[in-house]
């Protein structure tokens, strides 16, 4: 009888969908483990009478995943109570996810809409040694790009600051974003779509049950009110508003031909390679800027900054915040 080579055996298993199923089941089991860990942190211990409905799973799926976690030694037998090994693995997964999101924000060209999905895929694959290499590359950050604390390899993590509830918000007040929840796409995507992120500062101009309006980076922005529940906020300090020129700033795309403006800074939503590139090109606080010429279709536009002509697409120019001077420098 001819002996089957290992590669042939692997191909046979893949054709029968055994390998993908096993990997998917392990991923789903570890997702449940993180869910149990979060419940334990919130309640002080894992609730004893959790049902499949509480966890958003079918009874059969819960039984299957529970067996997987028991087999790994992550939960107590015939229970959803975490073992010390289970807590360690849940913490390891949380650290991997948040570190990888930070890596994507600072060292990739992926958009915020992709960070959670990609980090969720990688968190189940990364080893602890790889966690440490990423942490060292990033300078051991305390928070991920959304403001979630990143646990250390010893399990310590910074606390989330107190946040205002939506009932405590006041129209006309400026607010500083401390954290943005990315687990619910319905509320998260509208926020990142208009450039809101951790460390954004906006003014609340209207608060109604269905739709609300913010003043952010020189623009009036309307959003579904429920999306504001994804934001952790504190009142902005008066010096933050004054030093940031938040009443006067606009995005560079609002600059008209013949006008001269001054760069105030870059939007907090501009991160990683794009932020470094724009700063290297001279788009730093205090630089004078004007339009040299627009392309026939209006995009890109060539700008004069620090004596150089630099062409930017509209999606790049939106990151650059400017302030028009009180007098026309072009007349000097």
DSSP sequence for 234-255:
EEPPHHHHHHTTTTT-EEGGGP
pLDDT of 23 reads: 67
In a domain, residue 262? The reply is yes
- Distances 102 to 115, 137, 210, 274 between C-alpha atoms, Å: 9, 11, 33, 15
Check whether residue 312 and residue 266 sit in a common domain.
yes
Identify the domain boundary among 23, 52, 82: 82
Tokens of 143: 């928070």
The burial of 216, by beta-carbon neighbours within 10 Å (0-12 exposed, 13-18 middle, 19 or more buried), is given as buried
In terms of DSSP bridges, do strands 260-266 and 288-294 run parallel, antiparallel, or are they unpaired?
Answer: antiparallel
**pTM attached to this predicted model:** 0.81
Check whether residue 317 and residue 257 sit in a common domain.
yes
pLDDT of 46 reads: 66
Rounded Cα distance between 192 and 181, Å, is 11
In a domain, residue 101? The reply is no
**Backbone Cα Rg of the chain:** 25
* CB neighbours of residue 255 within 10 Å: 20
Identify the domain boundary among 50, 65, 82: 82
Quick check: helix, strand or coil at residue 322?
strand
Number of structural domains (the chain) is 3
Is 175:234 a contact under the CB 8 Å cutoff?
yes
Quick check: helix, strand or coil at residue 52?
coil
In a domain, residue 125? The reply is no
Check whether residue 264 and residue 287 sit in a common domain.
yes
CATH number of the domain to which 210 belongs = 2.30.30.90
Q: Given 3-state DSSP classes, what are the helix, strand and coil percentages for the chain, each rounded to the nearest 5? A: 40, 20, 40
Check whether residue 200 and residue 263 sit in a common domain.
no
Tokens of 9: 């055996």
Question: What letter would DSSP give residue 228?
Answer: G
Query: Among 157, 325, 318, which Cα is nearest to 251's?
Result: 318
pLDDT of 21 reads: 58
Check whether residue 272 and residue 232 sit in a common domain.
no
Check whether residue 268 and residue 237 sit in a common domain.
no
In a domain, residue 46? The reply is yes
pLDDT of 127 reads: 86
In a domain, residue 116? The reply is no
In terms of DSSP bridges, do strands 260-266 and 320-323 run parallel, antiparallel, or are they unpaired?
Answer: antiparallel
In a domain, residue 98? The reply is no
In a domain, residue 307? The reply is yes
Rounded Cα distance between 259 and 271, Å, is 28
pLDDT of 161 reads: 76
Supply the range of the domain harboring residue 232.
166-243
Check whether residue 259 and residue 320 sit in a common domain.
yes
Q: Bin 51: left if φ > 0, else alpha if -120 < ψ < 50, else beta.
A: beta
pLDDT digit string (tens) for the chain, length 332 residues: 334 344 344 444 444 444 455 567 888 899 999 999 988 887 766 666 788 888 888 889 989 999 999 999 999 998 889 999 999 999 999 999 999 999 999 998 888 999 999 999 899 888 888 989 999 999 999 999 999 999 988 877 777 778 898 999 999 999 999 999 998 889 999 999 999 999 999 999 999 999 999 999 999 999 999 999 999 999 999 999 998 899 999 999 999 999 999 999 999 999 999 999 999 999 999 999 999 999 888 789 999 999 899 999 999 999 999 998 755 444 44
Handedness of CA 274, 178, 225, 117 (dihedral sign): positive
| Contacts of residue 179, Cβ cutoff 8 Å, sequence gap at least 6 | 146, 147, 148, 160, 163, 198, 231, 232
Tokens of 255: 């600059």
Tokens of 65: 């995943």
Check whether residue 236 and residue 277 sit in a common domain.
no
Check whether residue 195 and residue 210 sit in a common domain.
yes
pLDDT of 326 reads: 57
In a domain, residue 121? The reply is no
Identify the domain boundary among 212, 243, 274: 243
């Amino acid at each position: 009888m001819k002996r089957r080579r290992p590669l042939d055996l692997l191909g046979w298993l893949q054709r029968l969908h055994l390998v993908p199923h096993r990997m998917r089941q392990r991923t789903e089991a570890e997702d449940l483990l993180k869910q149990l860990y979060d419940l334990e942190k919130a309640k002080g211990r894992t609730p004893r009478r959790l049902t499949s409905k509480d966890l958003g799973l079918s009874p059969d799926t819960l039984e299957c995943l529970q067996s997987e976690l028991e087999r790994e030694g992550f939960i107590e037998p015939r229970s959803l109570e975490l073992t010390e090994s289970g807590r360690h693995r849940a913490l390891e997964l949380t650290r991997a996810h948040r570190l990888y999101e930070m890596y994507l924000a600072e060292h990739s060209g992926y958009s915020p809409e992709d960070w959670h999905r990609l980090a969720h895929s990688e968190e189940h694959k990364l080893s602890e040694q790889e966690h440490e290499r990423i942490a060292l590359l990033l300078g051991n950050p305390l928070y991920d790009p959304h403001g979630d604390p990143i646990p250390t390899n010893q399990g310590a993590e910074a606390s989330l600051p107190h946040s205002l509830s939506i009932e405590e918000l006041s129209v006309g007040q400026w607010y500083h974003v401390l954290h943005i929840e990315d687990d619910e796409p319905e509320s998260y995507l509208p926020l990142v779509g208009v450039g809101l992120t951790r460390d954004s500062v906006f003014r609340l101009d209207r608060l109604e049950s269905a739709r609300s309006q913010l003043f952010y980076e020189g623009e009036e922005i309307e959003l579904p009110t429920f999306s504001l529940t994804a934001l952790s906020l504190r009142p902005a300090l008066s010096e933050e508003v004054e030093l940031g020129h938040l009443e006067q700033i606009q995005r560079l795309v609002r600059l008209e031909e013949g006008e001269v403006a001054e760069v105030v800074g870059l939007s907090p939503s501009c991160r990683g390679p794009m932020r470094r590139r724009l700063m290297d090109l001279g788009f730093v606080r205090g630089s004078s800027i004007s339009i040299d010429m627009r392309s026939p279709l209006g995009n890109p536009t060539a700008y004069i900054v620090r004596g150089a002509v630099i062409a930017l697409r509209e999606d790049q120019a939106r990151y650059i915040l400017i302030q028009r001077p009180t007098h026309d420098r072009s007349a000097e």
